A and B are shown apart, each in its own frame.
Chain A
Amino acid sequence: MSLDGLPPAQVPGGPLADKWTDHRDHLRLVAPNNRRKFQVIVVGSGLAGASCAASLGEAGYNVQCFCYQDSPRRAHSIAAQGGINAAKNYRNDGDSVFRLFYDTIKGGDFRSREANVHRLAEVSVEIIDQAVAQGVPFAREYGGLLDNRSFGGAQVARTFYARGQTGQQLLLGAYQALARQISAGTVTMFPRSEMLELVVEDGRAVGIIVRNLITGEWSRHAGHAVVLATGGYVNVYYLSTNAKGCNVTAIWRAHRRGAFFANPCYTQIHPTCIPASEEFQAKLTLMSESLRNDGRIWVPRSEGETRRARDIPEGERDYYLERKYPSFGNLVPRDVASRNAKAVVDEGRGVGPLANGVYLDFADAIERQGRDRIEEKYGNLFEMYERITGENPYQAPMRIFPAPHYSMGGLWVDYNLMSNLEGLFVIGEANFSDHGANRLGASALMQGLADGYFVAPYTIANYLAGHLGEAVAVDSAAFDAAESETRERVERLLAVGGTRPVDVFHRKLGKVVWDECGMTRNAVGLERAIGVIREVRDEFWSDLKVVGSGAELNSSLERAGRVADFFELAELMCLDALRRDESCGGHFREEHQTEEGEARRNDEEFTHVSAWEMEGPGDWVEHREPLEFTAVVPTQRSYK
């Protein structure tokens, strides 16, 4: 551990509620006529990347935006179903910026930076205004005004939604804003392009090395600032709810070049996913948490139950969340819901052919509200469930089980969303900043758009203002070295010449990480996992088989590069989980729980962010950023 070496977090002084306004008032500006003199690189085109690239383009900067998909509209933000939080208080149910802040910081189990979370709650209201103006078709009431629903971890209804496709509609809004800038010529879009290296010169990010995924051609791109908006890393588990292409490579490459990686062990296991059905399964499918508004979660009271759900009488059912948490009931936060599901399945009370799920039952809601109302709210989710499982959830309860879904950890950033590398900004899920040890539902969309629309455009300008008149170029020694190292790495993957394709290794890696660094962790398991990860990694580098060359479309080669980085990340996740000898949020150390099985934090020793610096392969130094709370008192989270 090192107490120094971490740059200041740049959290402004003054009262919490005034920090962002005051800070914004004093950030440096770039005059409109000077903005076109700056090049900004944005990697990723999800909610954070697209909104940031579009906003910078609108302001007049020259932006280059990269995505691995064939179109920026396909980024995985599109799959978010449930909604987006905002402290509008349209329901008159007592919501406020402070309450959204409080719920988010409490939901994060007091492991996030207070000032960042407050800012997030503040700008949440602007996001809704922006999205509506773009034509995002949020759900409305008959009077024509916006509708809301409630979500896990909150006692107010502040979630805005567009049926079960809120992420899609918000992403299309950002994508369209981006398209407008592409058309205006301020943004140049590079689809089917993967950033494989960050170029760093004198501690400053100056550009990226990119591989064209169709032709295999390499290109260099220089910028005054580089923004990484590349999403999360739970595909390290192999089976997750992320898109197949989601990966850690962009932020991992930055980490290897000196950017600190914060809280890598904070991963979120989402409680409502469709349970795995077979060995060969390629991914897990999430069912929106909004379903918990109307669905009741239960398992049979006794083990080894074989009757169909409908044949099990009320008295023999255990609505365990309602029983254990009467105030929040089925709407407890995700980590609590997930662990409780695991507990009842581990007890042998799981349901379904593999006894690996719990019921999410809509019978009462359908009886009370009518099938039409339920269909209106969740129709697309019910359809999706039916397509995947072949079962009709209007007639029999859904079966659900937790699955890896989101990573709260990510690259360390200061209050300006800049990493410890100057000029490297990290936004959205790729950074660590706002969700602490657990993210509340409907706040990923909020954070991605807050960062991209309303925070980064100000703080990036502040950074750029100090670099007016500086030229950028791709013909430096730093670019030469970065490109040749990256090409060599790709050649090494092709040259292993082994016998097994990449997915074999990814599945092996995923199983270890899921078993030992998933929903619950313990010291013995984590130590064992690190050993196994190293062994499998060595196997990977000696027995990998990638057919074809680097000079063509080669998706196995793409995956091999990503999996190589996942191996290194997995080790750091376990190390971080081992070092954090407490339970908090999604990080549940079995050694540290209350008598009732709830997470027991150790605030005296662990009220900090762990920011890891890579010294060499398998060798990390921990820096600690202490977390201070002025407006809230960390308490044990209670949802009873």
Chain B
Amino acid sequence: MLEALALSARRGSAALFDAVSFRLEPGQVLLLSGPNGSGKTTLLRIAAGLTECAGGWLEWRGVRTAPFDAGLRSAALFIGHAPALKDDFTAEENLASLASLHGATTDHAALVAALSVWSLSGQRALPARVLSQGQRRRTSLARLQLVSRPLWLLDEPAAALDAAGAATLADTLTAHLARGGIAVIATHQDLPLGAGVGRSLRLA
């Protein structure tokens, strides 16, 4: 489980948020909302261990986390704003590269299956340079199918996705939660998730 205790963050001298606490059990998702600049990305980056918080702390399975600690790195999958794709690689190569960076298997069949879940079968051999924004986002999200991590941290995953893409995202997320996974998601859109799994947190 993921627990935040009185987290606070600042950008420069301005406080972003103060005393944010939440507790997520396996199978639960936290949906972060709030206006631009309210600290959604910062909260996700703190949870991923990329950024240090100004106050409070996070506990993952009862252990206090520190930036870049090995336990957190092997438990969490963070997908940020930038899709982390290489323009010169094809969609399949990009996916294989990202999945193997996170220690997942990258056999051809698994890659093909993951890309087809995200309706990218036709774009498999195309360089990422020629993909649309939505297709780039899908390629980036397709690693959710390959990398098994208990904690997903997704920053605006539905940005640039069409309705079908958002539905795929919701299905993938529902399956993750049903397996006992945990997720924290910053989003402006409503994701059609099952009842009772979503907590929401609004940052002012």
Tell me whether A and B are bound partners: no
